[in-house]
Chain A
């Protein structure tokens, strides 16, 4: 065992390239206070029962794990579809800036929703609909139009023509279809005529109706809803001139009539009262989510409580260190380095005392009592031991003194 030629992942016997947790690839992990995740999942499950589809939110500070939580929800939806019958898409709402034409208004958010679904998904839905058993007497477009429940007849017919004409077979570019779906103005010409759209998407209501109609189609083809997991929703605090259309679009999503398209909105803040004004005022959206300003925390789960006590910090660190470790290699490393009795394979390269100190130091400040900061500080301490080990040619553990040196600035 030559420490000087090791990389950090070998030194710490990691089962991954970095001393990091990735929200997407580690989506199955969810550490910390189980009560919070239970509250969130309980809300989601009850939304399936009461509203047909989840419509709720979560709030947290930077580093509390909002993005990770969204990917964890996506993971659960994918692996436990019997409990969570919906297809999820993650999208970020930031940046939002009405001073830049491309970055403001519902059209911008609508574009992000469409991008999150993507062409492959829309194509699959249309093809699955085409394969549905039954005595179909009319053409695909006509059948599809009957499934749609939102918007006027012109909108339903146009959407059905666009989806059936461009997404059933891969014979032509879908660019004109996407331009129409995004609400862009089409230049007059053969592409516009080929779309057979009798209506363009002129306003937010048309756009949200398109999304909810796609939800109807998904429900019809696979008996599932679709849920948009919207990250960085604090960007909606910058909504000003376009507040009427954006509020109205979210109101449509929150409406009881819509049971096929859901949303989980994650936003930055220290308390549930910081829900963006465009969602909270007037309170008709909250009302449709079954809450008022007084009990808003029933619909918007506060992640600050995920790591809230010393036990939560300890439990998070224990789960983290064990979860990112290659057990066999860690046991072998302990034996080779003569560290038996000084460190466990789960904790390597941290001594028990160092972990206890880390819990104390990280718990003392609210700013460091969150997932990102805990991972950062443990990674820095591990890297410090690694570099000292490389300099001395010895396996150096993270003990209390080394941990104190790394965390002294906190």
Chain B
């Protein structure tokens, strides 16, 4: 199989952890999309949400987060507090959300995780399955499509509510 054809692999263990380990080491990350119904602070994990947000802040990565509202899912409260404190995060709620998609655009090409794992501590230990897509060869279109899904398609659906824009997009 040629190099650019090897653009997808199955992730059997660790849920989302492989994706975020790669994100914090990514070169010139320009965009991060997190789509997960349940998001927790991951305080007891090797890589916590604070660590992820620190990388977002340090590298100035425009980030779009779509999750269920904490009014419907109280477990999401701690993460919402953290997201609201980050100037680089645009936050949406959609209470019908069930997809779990994580996309990072960086050099030399982006990568994405599409699977069953929520961004929660439990997901790193539970039986989760995912596909890690590399943005090379045919995978490039997949990454672009998944990024558009997170940045435009789900945000522009009827059931999605804008919670917070990043300050430079703030609409008074």
Task: With CB as the reference atom, state the residue of chain B lying closest to A381.
Answer: B171
Residues of B contacting A9 in the complex (Cβ-Cβ under 8 angstroms)? 156
Shortest distance between the CB of A298 and any CB in chain B (Å): 33
Q: How many interface residues does chain B have, given as a range? A: 20 to 34
Q: Is A111 an interface residue (CB 8 A)?
A: yes
CA distance A34 to B171 in the complex (A): 36
Partner of A384, one of B2, B108, B152, B169: B169
Shortest distance between the CB of B63 and any CB in chain A (Å): 16
Q: Is A402 an interface residue (CB 8 A)?
A: yes
Residues of A contacting B162 in the complex (Cβ-Cβ under 8 angstroms)? 387, 390-391
Shortest distance between the CB of B89 and any CB in chain A (Å): 16
**B4 and A95 within 8 A (CB):** yes
**A6 and B155 within 8 A (CB):** no
Could you tell me the dominant secondary structure of chain A's interface residues? helix
Q: Is B105 an interface residue (CB 8 A)?
A: no
Q: Is B172 an interface residue (CB 8 A)?
A: yes
Please report which residues of chain B, range 122-172, place their CB below 8 angstroms from some CB of chain A when the two chains form the complex. Answer: 136, 148, 152-153, 155-158, 161-162, 168-172
Q: Is B3 an interface residue (CB 8 A)?
A: yes
Q: How many interface residues does chain A have, given as a range? A: 20 to 34
Residues of A contacting B171 in the complex (Cβ-Cβ under 8 angstroms)? 384, 387-388, 402, 405-406
**B158 and A405 within 8 A (CB):** no
Residues of A contacting B148 in the complex (Cβ-Cβ under 8 angstroms)? 18, 20
CA distance A228 to B141 in the complex (A): 20
CA distance A386 to B136 in the complex (A): 34
Partner of B158, one of A7, A17, A383, A384: A7
Task: With CB as the reference atom, state the residue of chain A lying closest to B1.
Answer: A102
**B108 and A18 within 8 A (CB):** no
**B2 and A18 within 8 A (CB):** no
Given known pairs A95-B4, A100-B3, A102-B2, the reply for A406 and B156 (CB within 8 Å) is no
**B152 and A379 within 8 A (CB):** yes
**B156 and A8 within 8 A (CB):** yes
Closest 3 pairs between A and B when the two form their complex, measured CB to CB: A8-B156, A102-B3, A409-B168
**CB within 8 Å of A: which residues of B?**
2-4, 108-109, 136, 148, 152-153, 155-158, 161-162, 168-172
Query: Could you write out 17 A-B pairs with CB less than 8 Å apart?
Result: A4-B158, A6-B158, A7-B156, A7-B157, A8-B152, A8-B156, A17-B153, A18-B148, A20-B148, A95-B109, A100-B3, A102-B2, A103-B4, A383-B152, A391-B162, A405-B172, A406-B169
Given contacts A8-B157, A409-B169, 9 further A-B contacts (CB under 8 A): A18-B148, A18-B152, A95-B4, A383-B155, A384-B171, A390-B161, A390-B162, A405-B171, A409-B168
